[in-house]
Structure formats: structure tokens, C-alpha cells
A and B are shown apart, each in its own frame.
Chain A
Amino acid sequence: MKLIFERSVPGRSTTIFPECDVPETTLPESFLRAEKPDLPEVSETDLSRHYQELSKQVYGVCDGFYPLGSCTMKYNPSVNEEAAALPGFAGLHPLQPVETAQGALRVLRLSEQYLCELTGMDEMTFEPAAGAHGEFTGLLLIKKYHELRGDAARTKILVPDSAHGTNPASATMAGFEVVNIPSAPDGGVDLTALAEAAGPDTAGLMLTNPNTLGIFDRNILEITRIVHEAGGLCYYDGANLNAVVGNARPGDMGFDVVHLNMHKTFSTPHGGGGPGAGAVGAKGDMAKYLPGEHVVEKADGTLAFEKKEQSIGRIRSYYGNFLVQVKALAYILMLGGDGLRDASQNAVLNANYLRVLLAPYCKVAAEGICMHEFVLDLAEIKERTGISAMDIAKSMLDHGMHAPTMYFPLIVHEALMFEPTETESKETLDEAAAIIIELLKMADTDPEALHSAPCHTPISRPDEVKAARTPVLTWKRA
């Protein structure tokens, strides 16, 4: 397609400005540009066609099945958007007096109460702008906790080898050294290795439960006990909370700090429609160090912001991505406690249904019942036919589906990670499974077709090596 710059014609414009009703003024010479900026000049028709065309190049949850593992690409209900668009929310300024923004403070207060109830935490902050930002915040809380106890020896964070890549990255950013904990054969944490690694230098453990293989770690109480007995704290990465919300609480599993991804579990959009939000909850003493402004209820029932004395300080401007929190609260209120519980049970049911349909045709990385997602291991298929996880994923695109997550977790070499979510119907899952089974069979019968897929997408197979090594990130006029 043509870029907006290629549609540009000098002098063409979109907006008819109203008459100027203020006195004209001239800026000092030193503030003026020497040359006009090279901006596109297009009519409103051209502009609208440009965006329309762009919109046709993308694929979203509203287009079809989107089983991107570990991302929880569930449907984003319209009512969330309606709530966030209410003028009382959308028109707020973060600096207006709190007396005039009581409704907004109530959103934060209610969100905190509900999310603490769902996670077993005591207090929550809504500053973090997304999941990894939440991890970073949680780790700063852990750091502060040890610092205030005068325990400077705790410099290490334990991270299982099945973890999301953000875990070791956040720990490093927060100034910790990362210690990798291997997985046991069943996919859970290797308890012996954990017990060996945990010690007087352990600041904490970061864990996703269920983990990235879609396995709920049955030893979770033992895991958190080992870390606590070594004097460390336990951090719950909420990336996979959609599997258990309403059924099990990280706080009851022994976790001290959690982050939640509103754009996963609580149905707010992933990019495009808005930014993420990664609320962080903390238990007991840890809550004293939460960042930013915390909403408190005064004796007369009004709400106010209060800064915690021992806070780690701000980690983002104002109150985080507030409107995302409005959407998440709308979701929580629409479903209620029972609805949230049913949603996560259906997410687990859907994943297991799809897993059982596909299992006769491809090895599943972890045996037995999965939680909200599962990982296919195509190593044997690749060895036999040369067809890789990438080939199957690319071929799925031709059938109007989004690809699953590829080559993750790293402990499975030819991984395809499926997370159908609760918002897909049995019909959609049956249809998707039939197509995927057909593609897996083609590995033996017609590998060439799979190697050359996709043929029906706007872009076929980009040169990934070139894209990584010599990316062209800006357009230059020819």
C-alpha cells in the first residue's frame, strides 16, 4: 500500500480552520524553523482511505480466532469502552482538585478492593503502565523491604527457566542478579534445585502459576515455604491469572507481591485500542512501600489521595493508565464474582478441549490436564518432515487465524503455545482444530505448501534476518 507521504500533494489540506479570533503575533526569529517540515499534505478523503487501508492490514480479536499463548487475547467487551468514554472520566485532568474527581477516585478505590479480594493482597497501586513495569515495581518493593531491615546481602532473584523473559529483565533492571531455576520433568519448579539455590543471598522468587507450559504447580505451597524460610519474598507474575481468577488466590499460595495485567485477565485492549495497565498488589508490610498516591476513605465518606511515608516513590506520572482501569472495573462489575470464576473455568475448559483435539496429531509438551494454555512440541515433526513450528504458524494465517505464540517457552525447542481463552465458542474451537490438524497432516503429505505459506496475507514471509540486522525504520523521499 501507499504510505501517507506518498499520497501527499503540496498545498493540499484536510482542515478548514475557523476565522482567527485572537490577535496575530509573530514568534522571535530564533524559534522559527529554517525549512518547512516534511509532513504529508492530504485531503480528508485521502486520509480516511489511508487509515481504512491500514486497518485492513491488521488482524485483531474481532477478526477471528487469536490463540496467542500467554497473551490472553480475549474479547474486549464494548461496555468497557462505553464506561471509559463517559465524559466524567474521559474529560478529567489529572491535576484537577480531588473534590471534583471523586468518581475517579472511587474507581481506583473499588478496583483496589475487588482486585485485593481476588488476589489475596492487602493494598494495590495502579501506577504501573503494563506488566513488566509492574514486575519492576514489585521488585523495588522487595528491595526496599530488605534494605529497611538492613539486610544488604540479598542480591539475588530466583527465576524458573520457564519464566517469561520479562522476569529476568525486570530483576536485572531493579539491580538484582538472576539465578535460573530448572524445571522438573513434570514442568513445575525443581524443588531440590530451588532448595539448593535459596539462601541468605536470596531476595526473592518470581513465579507465574500456572506456568508458561500451562501447568499449575501443585507444589506451590512448598515452593513459597522454601523461599520464605530462606528469608526471601515471593513475587507472583499475574500474566497467567486468567486461568485461576475467582478460583485461587496468589495471596493464599504464599505470594507477597503480585502484578496483574488488565489487558489480559481483565479484558482491556492490547495496544491499538489503548495502553496496558499493570496494577501491583502487596501484602502486609510490603504494602507500606507501594508507589505514588494511594486512595483512602475519610471519616466523612469522601476520598482523598495519600502518599505513603515509606513509599518507593513514583514510578509513573499521575495515576497510571486510568481509563484502562475504568475498563477493567467495568469488566469486573459486569461479570461479578461468580462470572469471573466461570470465565476462568471456561478458559481452562477451552484450552483442554483444544489440547485433546490436537494431541493425537502432535506431541504436547507437558502431559496431563493443562490450565488456560498448552504447548505443542513439534520437534519430532520437524526432525521427520522438516516442517517447523514457524511453518505451521505461518500456514494458520492463510486460514484466517492468528498464529499461536512461537518458540516460547524456550525449554521447548519447536514450541507452539495455544491459549484460546474463554470467549471462543465450541464451534470456533472445532473449526480451528480441524484446520490445524489438516496442516499437521500436510507436514507429511505436502511440506512444500507449508514452507511457502502464507499466500493470502498482505505480507508473505518477511526476511527476518534482514529485518533484525538492517531494519529500515524511517521513510525517505526517493
Chain B
Amino acid sequence: MTFPKNLKYTETHEWVEEIGDGRVRVGITDYAQDQLGDLVYVTMPEEGDEVTEGQSFAEVESVKAVSEVNSPVTGTIAVVNEELAETPEAINDTPYEAWFVELSDVEMPDNLMDADEYQDFVEAEA
């Protein structure tokens, strides 16, 4: 299981990557995809939607269960990764490349975990 150093993490197993200009990309972690099993559907928000930190903005469905994906930050949906909606298996294959959305007008909250903290968190949970 990998925990890239350049990302920040939530307790609900989302990752967030700062890409400059107050913009971030958001996805779900390696641990999350491993727990969910093979993913079959992703329900995406609309571009322009406002999202709130800690609130659900997308849904993932695996062969086991449907789960909500919470936004690690407050902001506006600038870009939706439509390609991912067509190929949800990419989340299983390359979870840290499989970004769901790009958000703009984001201020990074300070309660997010770095890679080491998240790794400890996951190990404690398992």
C-alpha cells in the first residue's frame, strides 16, 4: 500500500493534491480502494457545484457496497474527470492518478494529515 508524500489525507480516506492557483485535485486512497474492492460505478457532481469540507460530493459503488466520497476542502467544482466516470477500474489500478474532480477557490484546512500521519492512521484502523 502506498502513501505519496506530496498529498494530504482525510480520516475518511480521500487524498487531496495542491496544483497551484488555489486549485486542488481530490481522489480516494489506496487503502479506500482496497477496502471497497472492484469499483463498478462512480457518480460525479456537476461543474460549478459548491462543495463543503467534510460533505459528500461523489459516490463510488463497488461489488461490495456504495460509499460516499467526502470533500476534504471547501470550494467550487472546476473540472470533473469524466473519463474516470467511464473507467472506475482506474481507481483500483492507480488510485493516486484517478482524480475525481478539480476544485477552485480552495483554502487548505490545517486538519488534513500528511503521508506519515495517514499511514499511522490506517495502520491503527486495521
Contacts and interface: CB of A to CB of B under 8 A. Distances in A.
Interface residues of B, number: 11
A379 B40 contact: no
B35 A413 contact: yes
Interface of B: 35, 38, 40-41, 61, 63-65, 67, 89, 126
A465 B35 contact: no
Contacts of B89: 465
Contacts of B126: 379, 383
Nearest to B63: A464
A469 B41 contact: yes
18 contacts: A379-B126, A383-B126, A406-B64, A407-B64, A410-B67, A413-B35, A464-B38, A464-B63, A465-B38, A465-B40, A465-B63, A465-B89, A468-B40, A468-B41, A468-B61, A468-B63, A469-B40, A469-B41
Contacts of B64: 406-407
Q: List the 3 shortest-distance A-B pairs measured between CB atoms, nearest first.
A: A468-B40, A464-B63, A407-B64
B60 to A, nearest CB: 12
A193 to B, nearest CB: 15
A277 B61 CA distance: 29
A410 B65 contact: yes
Nearest to B40: A468
Contacts of B65: 407-408, 410
Interface string A436-478: 0000000000000000000000000000110011000000000
A469 to B, nearest CB: 5
Interface string A392-426: 00000000000000111010010000000000000
B61 to A, nearest CB: 7
A464 B40 CA distance: 9
Interface residues of A, number: 11
Nearest to B89: A465
- Say what secondary structure dominates the interface of chain A: helix
A125 B51 CA distance: 42
Interface string A232-249: 000000000000000000
Nearest to A408: B65
Nearest to A415: B64
Contacts of A464: 38, 40, 63
A387 to B, nearest CB: 14
Contacts of A413: 35
A379 B31 CA distance: 13
Contacts of A383: 126
Contacts of B67: 410
A468 B41 CA distance: 8
A469 B64 CA distance: 14
Nearest to A406: B64
Given A407-B65, A464-B63, A468-B41, 19 more contacts: A379-B126, A383-B126, A406-B64, A407-B64, A408-B65, A410-B65, A410-B67, A413-B35, A464-B38, A464-B40, A465-B38, A465-B40, A465-B63, A465-B89, A468-B40, A468-B61, A468-B63, A469-B40, A469-B41
Contacts of A407: 64-65
Contacts of A406: 64
Nearest to B66: A165
Contacts of B61: 468
A364 B28 CA distance: 29
Most chain B CB within 10 A, of A383, A408, A468, is at A468
A285 to B, nearest CB: 35
A469 B40 CA distance: 6
Contacts of A468: 40-41, 61, 63
Interface string A38-53: 0000000000000000
Contacts of A410: 65, 67
Interface in A375-390: 379, 383
A27 to B, nearest CB: 45
A408 B126 CA distance: 17
A21 B63 CA distance: 56
Nearest to A379: B126
A465 B35 CA distance: 15
A410 B64 CA distance: 9
A465 B37 CA distance: 10
A100 B40 CA distance: 54
A17 B126 CA distance: 67
Nearest to B67: A410
A410 B35 CA distance: 11
Nearest to A466: B40
B4 to A, nearest CB: 22
A407 B126 CA distance: 16
Interface string A192-230: 000000000000000000000000000000000000000
A466 to B, nearest CB: 9
Nearest to B68: A180
A384 to B, nearest CB: 12
